[in-house]
């Protein structure tokens, strides 16, 4: 038997209000060291913390593809770890593996069919990248921009991104720039984040929504209006952005994090004035859900790896992505 530590849901925060530390507890349990056929004994290296997890704290997550966490049950989510022992044919001791349902335990026994093998060399050993730029947030940014953004290089488009310093937003801005937007403006919650977006991540400018008048700042930074809006947050920030969008613009409805601590459906209803602008200006606002694009994950990850490699000087000569023979 081996002693492991795990995080369990102690109580539900309720649909309204923020989750607090008392909603969770850390406990020790013992795991059998002998595993059954098909099972794999893993050591956890990294766990992903994501906004959708707030929905999993509710009895009803509001999404059919998300199951609620069980009170006194172990949390699970995106994770990366290493195989300690295996009774599954496709997974060997020493393999680096990932899963969307990794248990929040120091060690765990998992179904080998639910693991995907990872090649650490692809990220120069930075395994946490598989939960970020070369994982679900990277795919969300890439596919969100590509599937719903309608970017046309050379057409002088301006994109605004809310939640711009987060996992998806920071990547969406960089991808939009690489894909041909002439201006990429981020909205985030501190001056330090604004500074990072403009000095390190290639954003044209950034607005701190906690201290700036968003409408006035957008007028200044987007003098030709907003063509594409990558919406991670919803609420009043999104109302302010949509008010400055151009005719035939596009909202990429990625997430609405400002509403997750409220008892509202997803996506939350828009206020009447914002809805009127969408109709009058013929602005699309289609919901984007990354898991609906699984057939594009492999090619998407290759592109994200290429971005990573370009940014870290991994290429000598031209870097290209081979898609098939």
Q: Which residues are near ligand NDP by CB under 6 A? A: 50-52, 137, 140, 163, 165-169, 188-190, 193, 232-233, 237, 254-258, 288-290
> Which of residues 81 and 135 has its CB atom nearest to ligand NDP in the complex?
135
Number of neighbouring beta carbons within 10 Å of residue 228: 26
Nearest approach in angstroms of CB 213 to ligand NDP is 15
Between residues 9 and 188, which has the closer beta carbon with respect to ligand NDP? Answer: 188
157 versus 258: smaller Cβ distance to ligand NDP: 258
> Least Å distance between CB 209 and ligand NDP?
6
Interhelix angle 214-221/235-242, nearest 10 degrees: 40
Which of residues 56 and 193 has its CB atom nearest to ligand NDP in the complex?
193
- Is the preceding omega at residue 267 within 30 degrees of 0, hence cis? yes
Q: How many other CB atoms sit within 10 Å of the CB of residue 185?
A: 26
Shortest distance (Å) from residue 244 CB to ligand NDP: 17
69 by DSSP, 3-state: which?
coil
Nearest approach, Cβ of residue 59 and ligand NDP (Å) = 19
In the complex, the smallest distance separating the C-beta of residue 30 from ligand NDP, rounded to whole angstroms, is: 34
C-alpha closest to that of 76 among 104, 56, 99, 51: 104
Query: What are the strands, taking DSSP E only, across the chain?
Result: 2-9, 24-31, 39-47, 76-86, 96-103, 107-111, 116-118, 158-162, 183-188, 205-208, 226-231, 245-253, 284-287
Nearer Cβ to ligand NDP (24/52):
52
């Amino acid at each position: 038997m081996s002693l492991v530590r795990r995080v369990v849901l102690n109580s539900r925060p309720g649909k309204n209000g923020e989750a607090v530390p008392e909603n969770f507890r850390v406990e020790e349990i013992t795991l059998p060291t002998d595993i059954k056929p098909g099972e794999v004994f893993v050591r956890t290296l990294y766990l992903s913390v994501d906004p959708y997890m707030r929905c999993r704290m509710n009895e009803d997550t509001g999404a059919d593809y998300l199951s609620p966490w069980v009170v006194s049950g172990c949390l699970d989510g995106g994770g990366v770890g290493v195989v300690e022992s295996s009774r599954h044919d496709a997974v060997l001791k020493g393999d680096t593996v990932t899963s969307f349902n990794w248990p929040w335990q120091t060690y765990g026994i998992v179904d080998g069919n639910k693991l995907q093998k990872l090649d650490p060399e692809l990220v120069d050993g930075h395994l946490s990248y598989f939960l970020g730029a070369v994982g679900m947030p990277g795919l969300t940014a890439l596919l969100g921009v590509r599937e719903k953004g309608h970017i046309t290089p050379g057409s002088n488009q301006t994109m605004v991104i809310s939640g711009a310093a987060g996992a998806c937003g920071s990547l969406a801005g960089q991808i939009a720039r690489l894909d041909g937007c002439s201006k990429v403006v981020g909205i985030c919650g501190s001056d330090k984040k604004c500074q990072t977006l403009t000095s390190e991540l290639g954003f044209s400018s950034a607005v701190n929504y906690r201290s700036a008048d968003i409408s006035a700042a957008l007028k200044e930074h987007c003098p030709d209006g907003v063509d594409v809006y990558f919406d991670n947050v919803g609420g009043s920030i999104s109302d302010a952005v949509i008010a400055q969008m151009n005719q035939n613009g596009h909202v990429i409805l990625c997430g609405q994090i400002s509403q997750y601590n409220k008892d509202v459906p997803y996506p939350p209803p828009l206020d009447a004035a914002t809805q009127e602008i969408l109709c009058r200006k013929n602005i699309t606002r289609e919901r984007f859900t990354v898991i609906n694009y699984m057939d594009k994950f492999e090619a998407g990850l290759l592109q994200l790896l290429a971005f990573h490699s370009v940014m870290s000087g991994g290429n000598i000569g031209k870097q290209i992505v081979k898609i098939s023979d």
